[in-house]
């Protein structure tokens, strides 16, 4: 089933081992791929979490290659710098098969 792709400004939720539950907002993206007027997120995209730590996207779609790597989608995972995982919960209405 196709998953919605992520962009700068989309969010993930997780639990930081230092500060507990957090929300991360993606702040970097692909320099070429635009989804709904925002840069697409990919493996390696950086976010800023409410726990105070940066986050990094670590899983993505092998089906959708962006200029900077595989696309990061709703349901994919990443980690805050303290090691707490997150799961992506928002994305573009554009899915990887569109």
For 71, the enclosing helix (H) or strand (E) is strand 69-71
- Check pLDDT > 90 for residue 87: yes
Model confidence at 98, pLDDT cuts 50, 70, 90, reads very low
Distance CA(51)–CA(65), nearest Å, equals: 30
Nearest to 39 by CA among 16, 9, 17: 9
pLDDT in tens, 33-84: 888 889 999 999 999 999 999 999 999 987 777 777 788 999 999 999 999 9
What's the confidence (pLDDT) of residue 1? Answer: 60
What's the confidence (pLDDT) of residue 95? Answer: 64
CB of 86 closer than 8 Å to CB of 80: yes
């Amino acid at each position: 089933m196709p998953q919605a792709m992520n962009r700068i400004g989309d969010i993930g939720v997780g639990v930081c081992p230092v500060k507990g539950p957090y929300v991360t907002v993606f702040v970097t993206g692909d320099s070429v791929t635009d989804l709904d007027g925002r840069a697409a997120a990919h493996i390696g995209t950086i976010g800023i979490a409410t726990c105070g730590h940066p986050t990094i996207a670590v899983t993505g779609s092998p089906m959708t290659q962006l200029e900077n790597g595989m696309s990061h989608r709703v349901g994919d995972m990443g980690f805050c710098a303290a090691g707490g995982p997150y799961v992506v919960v928002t994305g573009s209405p554009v899915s990887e098969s569109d």
